[in-house]
Amino acid sequence: MRAVGESDTGAVAEQPIEVRDAAGASVVLRRLRVQLKTPTRDGETVLYILTNLPAEVDGVTVAALYRKRWTLESAFQALEAHFRSETDTLAYPKAALFGFCTALVAYNVWAVVQAALRRVHGETKVEQEVSGYYLAEEMHATYRGMMVALPAPEWAMFQTLPLAVLAACLLDWAQHVRLPALRKHRRGPKKPVSNT
């Protein structure tokens, strides 16, 4: 294990390792060790990462990329929880893929709305107080009503708006969002499981 530098989260070291499968085929990987500055929520102080990225991608960069993987995992968790991206009844593969892609589009809209809310109301307030689930439900319900009140041609102008103008509209609308209606409900402590 040799030291390769310091990331935002801690000291990074790496070593080459060889991994063999049951058939005897082997692959050479890099094993990274990140000595964390701050323990994880589970109390871990050391993090190990396996990578097959080429040596040109240094260990500190790999550690930083690994840190960002949580954004992807959070996105997939939101897709499942708020947008029903894995509908069991869609057994036909093309239908399931279409359903998943539709959920991805909805997720992108949801992420843009959250970004506008964070910009107007502050990142900490939105992250700590706004429920992603309630935001998705509000968008779903509001969309249905708005499509009745305002037919599709009324929305055509937003397809061609310059990005800066659309962003200004989103920020203006975000100022009028009633955040208390989207408040997270905190769970109390879990009760111990009784074995009786």
Chain segment 147-167, per-residue pLDDT in tens:
888 888 888 888 899 999 999
Is the residue at 80 inside a domain? Answer: yes
* pLDDT class of 106 with cuts at 50, 70, 90: confident
Q: Which long-range contacts (CB under 8 A, 24 or more apart) does 50-56 make?
A: 50/17, 50/19, 52/27, 55/30
Residues 101 and 128 in one domain: yes
Q: β-strands 10-20, 26-36: how paired?
A: antiparallel
Residues 8 and 91 in one domain: no
- Average pLDDT over every residue of 128-149: 85
Residues 48 and 24 in one domain: yes
Residues 96 and 128 in one domain: yes
Is the residue at 167 inside a domain? Answer: yes
Which pLDDT tens digit goes with each residue over 54-103? 889 999 999 888 877 766 667 777 777 666 666 666 567 777 778 778 88
CA distance 133 to 183: 10
Is the residue at 87 inside a domain? Answer: yes
Range of the domain at 53: 2-59
Q: What residues contact 125, with CB distance under 8 A and at least 6 apart? A: 179
What pLDDT does 119 receive? Answer: 94
Which pLDDT tens digit goes with each residue over 9-58? 889 999 999 998 888 899 999 999 999 898 887 788 998 999 999 889 99
Quote the strand ranges of 26-162, DSSP E: 26-36, 46-51
Is the residue at 45 inside a domain? Answer: yes
- Structural domain total, the chain: 2
Neighbouring C-beta atoms of residue 57, cutoff 10 Å: 12
What pLDDT does 132 receive? Answer: 85
